[in-house]
Amino acid sequence: MGWYARLGQWSDRNQFAVDLSVTLLAALVVVPASAAFAPNAGAVGADLSGWWGAFWALAVLAPLPWRRTRPVASAVAVLAAALGHLLAGYLLLMPADLAVLVALYSVTVYGPRWAHRTAIASALLGALVLGVALGLQTGRLADLAMTVLFSSTFGGVTFLAVWAFGLARRSRRETIAALVDRAERLEVERDQQAQIATAAERARIAREMHDIVAHSLSVIIAQADGGRYAASADPAAAQRALTTVSETGRAALSDMRRLLGVLRADAPRAPLAPVSRHDPGPEPGAGSTTVPAALERTPQPDTADLEQLVAQVRDSGLRVSLVRVGQARTLPPAPGSRFTACARRR
């Protein structure tokens, strides 16, 4: 962003203060110039004409500090002051009358549509009235038409040019405001879509968890009831039922652990509570530990990772040995992870 854009943003944030400062600086030049120009008006005596010129110049300039914060009221006040000094006989208060152009531009850019349309119509009517007033001062009928035509045309073209420039500026402001509003709505829509997708994923995970828990509990209850009835008559069948109950529970726990893993947040994790008598839990005095986001979603090591775990401990300088007794068999993920955690603490 360039300095001009930053200056424009600062001016928009401090509209009244900027306009007030500019108006005061302009008044230091415009009011004395209007007072010096006023004696050409013949409505009052020349001794008081300068003071009245300064008064009308101040009346025309006074509403300009509100040209952006209250554009309609400012434009009405400026046009009323200009019409007032015109009816009072001060046909021109140059350069104070330039405030009419500023008011027309301001109400076109910052005011409602009806206001700038009314303002341009009033300005054109004022140009016609000024032309007629100047023509009547000539005193000759032959010069009246020429003076009215020239003055009205010059004033009307000037007002139309300022109005067209204000419309271009207004269109640019509306375009920028529309683009900003669209960007904000797209950002809100993107966040909403992300929330909807997250909610849908959580609902899917909840359905899967429901299916896992319902199916596993149904199998466990059926096998437990069957094993209880068959315990006295066929102990082997009861043993097989209990084995099925154990395997089903471990499989369900592993599936639930896998599903819940995607719901972990990227926040510090509190120490886990002991899950069994073989897991003493965190050491006394240990606080919560912060786990990186990448490791937060990494599966915990199981029995297949024991050799890597031993190698890491050896690299730290400790003398560690790994001894395997009997025939190795594959454990489900959840019991294997707990076994590896116990081995790592030992």
For 23-32, the pLDDT digits (tens) are 999 889 888 8
Q: What pLDDT is attached to residue 48?
A: 58
Phi/psi at 269 (nearest 5 deg)?
A: -95, 140
- The contacts of residue 326 (CB under 8 Å, 6+ apart) are none
Provide the mean pLDDT of the chain. 76
Task: Return the DSSP state at 264.
Answer: -
Query: Residue 282: its pLDDT value, please?
Result: 44
Can you tell me the mean pLDDT for 280-303? 47
Q: What angle do CA 308, 346, 245 make, to 5 degrees?
A: 85
pLDDT reading at 273 higher than 50: no
Q: Is the pLDDT of residue 116 over 50?
A: yes
Given a cut of 60, whether residue 299 has pLDDT beyond it is: no
- pLDDT at 338 exceeding the cut of 70: no
Average confidence (pLDDT) over 209-215: 76
Residue 211 in 3-state DSSP?
helix
- The confidence band for 73, taking pLDDT boundaries of 50, 70 and 90, is very high
> Rounded to whole angstroms, how far apart are CA atoms 235 and 214?
27
Confidence band, pLDDT 50/70/90 cuts, at residue 317: low
In this structure, are residues 24 and 61 in contact, taking their beta carbons and an 8 Å threshold?
no
- pLDDT band for 38, please (50, 70, 90 cuts): low
